[in-house]
Amino acid sequence: MLAGCVAAMLVSATDARVAAQPVPPPAATIAAGQPTPIPNLSANPWAGGIGVDFVPVLGSPSPMRQDPAHPFVPNGTGAQPTYRIADLSNPNLKQWAKDIMKKDNDEVLGGKIAFTPRQSCMPAGVPGFILYGGGAVHFVQTPKKVTMIFDGDMQVRQVYMDVPHSKDAKPSWYGESIGRYEGDTLVIDTIGQNTKTVLDAYRTPHSDKLHVVERWRITNEGNGLEVLVTIDDPETFNQPWQAIRRYRKAPGMLGEQICAEGNFLLFDYGLPKADRSDF
């Protein structure tokens, strides 16, 4: 399990400077009187590989990227692997966030182990959940609720369908997610997250004003899954921004991967520990 966590932290399936992609086309127009083709996301698991970067969208401010002064080196190259170090020249990032990330960058460059929720067996929040690597996402769709399960550490999100947001959502790790179908697309709107999570592999912080919209659609004749994410946090970013994450159809059934138990702690990943026994 430890090896899988380390791989998820260090290895990228795509280059950090991947070219920006156009916004995916809207859902197909449904002819009058025809039933809406709700996407069958539950048909199989969806694997996102072990890449940890969002794909940028043309016309949108860029997601955070690796500092070119400290190139990212993944596992398996024969060279010494490195951690993600954020490029703080991103003009969309506000100064308070840059200050926090500068301190974190300096500590990692000085020898500290860079945090990721996957290796630390912690909830990732949204959109961090989308960037989990080394496993697969499973959907369970019912008329009133869509449940999303990442099989590494069995992280679970609940999406309540066709209901409004609460007037005063209580902050939580994954916030309050409501959903609806727009043609062949599942749209998820999330607010009410606490500030204990980070947005990406560069450990970008966020405020409690974070608002995330995801648009999930099946692609490549059923063999692919794509999510277009819109991030709006006026206290952290000067403008909202968009990014894409892609998955592929994966074989197999939902298995159980226990993260914290049995982790040999070769490094101090900061795994959560109970302060009292359950019995």
- Average confidence (pLDDT) over 268-272: 63
195-210 average pLDDT score:
96
**Are 247 and 226 a contacting pair, CB within 8 Å?**
yes
Q: What is the pLDDT of residues 52-104, one digit of tens each?
A: 789 999 999 999 999 999 999 988 889 999 999 999 999 999 999 999 999 99
Confirm whether 30 is domain-assigned: no
Residue 272 domain-assigned (yes or no):
no
In a domain, 255, yes or no: no
**Using the 8-state DSSP alphabet, how is residue 82 labeled?**
-
Tokens, residue 268: 């101090």
pLDDT mean across residues, the chain: 85
Per-residue pLDDT tens digits for 141-193: 999 999 999 987 789 999 999 999 999 999 999 999 999 999 999 999 999 99
pTM of the model: 0.84
Asked whether residue 61 is domain-assigned, the answer is: yes
Number of domains making up the chain: 1
Whether 28 is in a domain gets the answer: no
3-class DSSP string for 149-198: EECECCEEEEEEECCCCCCCCCCECCCEEEEEEECCEEEEEEECECCCCC
Among the residue ranges 3-12, 54-63, 189-198, 207-216, the one predicted with the least confidence is 3-12
171, β-bridge pairs? none
Q: Is residue 267 in some structural domain?
A: no
Q: Is residue 163 part of a domain?
A: yes
279 lies in a domain?
no
Residue 11, domain extent: 2-22+35-249
